[in-house]
Structure 1
Amino acid sequence: MDYKLKVKLIHHDAKLPYRANEGDAGLDLFSIEEKIIKPGEAELIRTGIQMELPRGTEAQVRPRSGLALKHSITVLNSPGTIDEGYRGEIKVILINHGKEDFKVERHMRIAQMVIAPVLQVKLKQVEVLSDTVRDKGGFGSSGK
């Protein structure tokens, strides 16, 4: 199937999302503004783009590993979900987990966006669920 992601630039400094290498899952998102993110604080960063996702998909906004490793900058609500019907400006919530101020610069790659299919399931309320080997074992229950 040939999926098309329609992108509208709504700011003169906006850049189209960019796939650095053929076969990469993520498209880089770019900032259109300069902002300082203080340690322990989060900021909403504008990208200057709007988009129309292909039917039956979502966009997941994820951290860039280089920013996380080198500067302790990540996407606060990772992964952030952009629903198919949303047509507003794409914005990214970045948080600074580091010890120093971090400067977001204009045209900086701030996050990556992965387009993924979404299953539209029907909900069914039941009284009993099937048993599994794991059953109700939660956090750390696998012993690994």
Structure 2
Amino acid sequence: MSVIIKVINKSGHALPNYETIASAGMDLRAVLESPVVLNPLERAIIKTGLFIELPVGYEAQVRPRSGLAAKFGITVLNSPGTIDADYRGEVGVILVNLSNQPFTIENGERIAQLVIAKHERAEWQEAAELSDTSRGAGGFGSTGTK
């Protein structure tokens, strides 16, 4: 099943698409007038030339591309970045270089993935206590590593 999403494409590139029948994400491409060099630990917002209108009840999640992360240490800084249904500005990607080598981003390069997801809205119900569980208040690492 698919959801229809309105898009304005000012990128000069093809619209993002699913590379395989089972892909969850579509690759986003950089829109640059000239290459951008990300030095080690440097970050930059890279524009995509895409403007989208999501239906209420959906979000777009901007996620890293595993190849860029594994091979070059390039990732999405606020991963996953959330694009809300009422945002109408250009989709941008906050990339960071976590390697010890400079990395050059070229126009048209695939820089991140976009995943479209349904979400729920929550209502808070204040309570005096919460139900017991076997984990209880055990936090980070409390369930072990093996």
CA distance in 1 between counterparts of 2:13 and 2:89 reads 14
Q: Deviations over 1:11-58 (max 9, x none)?
A: 4x3431121111200011000112111101110000001001133110
Once residues 2 and 46 of structure 1 are traced to their aligned partners in structure 2, the CA distance between those partners, rounded to angstroms, is 25
> Distance in 2 between the 1:55 and 1:135 partners?
35
Q: CA deviation at 1:129?
A: 1.0
Runs of 4+ in 1 over 6 A off after TM superposition: none
> How far did 1:122 drift?
1.1
Long gaps (5+) in structure 2: none
Query: Given the superposition, is the C-alpha separation of residues 143 and 2 from structure 1 closer, same or farther in structure 2, using an over 3 Å criterion?
Result: closer
1:62 and 2:63 matched: yes
Output the amino acid matched with 1:15: A
Distance 1:65 1:48 in 2: 22
Percent identity among equivalent residues? 48
Which AA in structure 2 matches 1:9? N
Alignment match, 1:9: 9
Matched residue, 1:22? 21
Aligned residues: 143
1:133 is paired with a residue of what secondary structure? coil
Query: Taking structure 1 as reference, are residues 127 and 86 closer, same or farther at Cα in structure 2, changes over 3 Å only?
Result: same
In the alignment, which residue of structure 1 is the partner of 2:74? 73
| Distance of 1:109 and 1:100 partners within structure 2 | 19
Matched position secondary structure for 1:19: coil
Q: What TM-score, normalized to structure 1?
A: 0.94
Query: Which letter does structure 2 place at the counterpart of 1:24?
Result: S
Question: Aligned partners of 1:126 and 1:68: how far apart in 2?
Answer: 43
Structure 1 segments unaligned to the other structure (5+ residues): none
**C-alpha offsets along residues 46-92 of structure 1, whole Å, 9 cap, x if unaligned?**
00010011331101100000000110000000000000111100000
